[in-house]
Amino acid sequence: MNYSVQLNKILLRPFLVLAGLFPILPFALKGAAVIVFVLLVLFSLKRRSIEINYLFFFNALLFVLYFISLVYSDNLKVGILKLGTISSLLIFPMGFLFLSANKKTITNILKHEGILKNTFIVSSFLLSIFIFSLSFNYGDYINQKININQFASDLDSGFLWMRDHPIYLSIYLSISLFLIVDVFNQSKRKHQIILLLIAIFEVIVIFILSRKGVIVSLCFSFLIFFLIISKNKKKTLLSFLFFITAIVLLSQNYFSDTAKRFREVFDTKSYKKVESYSSTSIRYGIYKCSFDKIKESWIVGYGIGDVVDELRKCYKDKSEVLYKGNFNSHNQYIAVILRVGILGLILFIISLTLNLFFFYKRKDYYAFSIILMFAFFMLTENILDRQNGVILFSLFLNYFVFRNLIIKSE
């Protein structure tokens, strides 16, 4: 066994473990899995022809478009820093493309796939226990309701080693729920009971975190997943409606702040003035500014370095709340068109659609549903603008493509 093969075997497990521990890693260490992955790829390179697959190139296309947009960005410093943050959009598709040429690495990755799934489920469960425990500092659910806004703000500021926005904490738990469903049928009876209890607990914590976009995206993704795999579509739909009704009723009693955040959406006051206490009014103000800016430069956008400055110009004129908050566009599709124009948005949507069609055609409905869930997340959040979002998305997307290509060829 030569030196590179030994290193390859040594690096594989740490990569899978670090990727699985992603939900509970300190923010500064979340990029560790990417670094180990790069080393794994370097020591797996073989002097043999690589079977080119168009999906990997489509998955790297957004990074390429952003890189090109530096040409017409005035703020190069911000642009280059942003490219560094989103480098996973290039590293994972190209990395898995090169790994597909090494049969030993392919065998080892598929053989140890369970490490990633199981570690991610366990780390997400530990994260949910940590969040639930912290929440009692803000109320006890019975005599005093939880102060969700303060709790969410403090989570974003940091507790001990953890500093993450509640949206991304909710996303970790949402992915974990799909992985639990994935491994459920292959587990023993006693393990299935444990997995079911973990899933219930994680759902409760997701509602405590009270992120509207994540909750809606998760519900619709699971509905579509169960409709696809179910033989009795009508029964599945009725069961889903019963579940949603039960959740709404429970929310009124035990998650009143969560219910309040949903009621904001239907309150006309949310669309008249931007208020710091109303997330709906803030998003409405953000979207108004975003669309105003799109109208001014919809063909090529403003470049990756200038979008923040352009939005702040609008915020300054529209609302002090928005200007002080320094918000991004809170919609990945809007962010793409602001940076690289309508053509960039079209190519990005084509890329997502091709991947979803590929997973559906391969009957990998877990991959299909997880990536579809990410696509829903992007309607309310700039998932690919933050390190914790872009690493997860690019890792799972390209790993699922890699796995399905390999299974097909065997």
pLDDT, tens digit (0-9, with 9 covering 90-100), for 98-128: 888 777 778 888 888 999 999 999 999 999 9
Tally Cβ neighbours within 10 Å of residue 285. Answer: 24
Residue 395: predicted pLDDT: 97
Residue ranges of domains in the chain = 3-268+328-409
Q: CA-to-CA distance for 280 and 265, rounded, in angstroms?
A: 6
* Nearest to 13, CA basis, from 98, 105, 94, 89: 105
Q: Long-range contacts for 52-56 (Cβ within 8 Å, ≥24 apart)?
A: 52/97, 53/97, 53/100, 53/401, 53/405, 54/354, 55/93, 55/354, 55/355, 55/358, 55/401, 56/93, 56/94, 56/96, 56/97, 56/398, 56/401
Buried b (16+ CB within 10 A) or exposed e, 151-166: bbeebeeeeeebebbb
Would you list the DSSP string of 235-296? HHHHHHHHHHHHHHHHHHHH-HHHHHHHHHHT-GGGGTS--TT-HHHHHHHHHHHHHHHHHH
Local confidence band at 175 (pLDDT 50, 70, 90 cut-offs):
very high
- Asked if 240 contacts 223 with a C-beta cutoff of 8 angstroms, the reply is yes
The answer to whether 8 touches 105, Cβ cutoff 8 Å, is yes
Averaged confidence pLDDT in the chain: 88
The label of the residue with tokens 């940091």 reads 158
Which residue is associated with the tokens 């500092």? 137
Could you tell me the two tokens for 402? 């890699």
Share of the chain above pLDDT 70, in %: 90
pLDDT tens by residue, 30-60: 999 999 999 999 888 766 566 678 899 999 9
Q: What is the pTM of this model?
A: 0.92
Residues 6+ apart with CB under 8 A from 333: 345, 348, 349, 378, 379
Q: Band of the pLDDT at 296, cuts 50, 70, 90?
A: very high
Dist CA 284 CA 271 (whole Å): 6
d(CA 70, CA 304): 6
The stretch 221-233 carries a mean pLDDT of 90
Rounded to whole angstroms, how far apart are CA atoms 245 and 195? Answer: 24
pLDDT of 233 reads 82
Both structure tokens of 260: 């309040």
Per-residue exposure over 238-260, b if at least 16 CB sit within 10 Å of its own CB, e if not? eebeeeeeebeeebeebbebbbe
* Inter-residue contact 274 to 319 (CB < 8 Å): yes
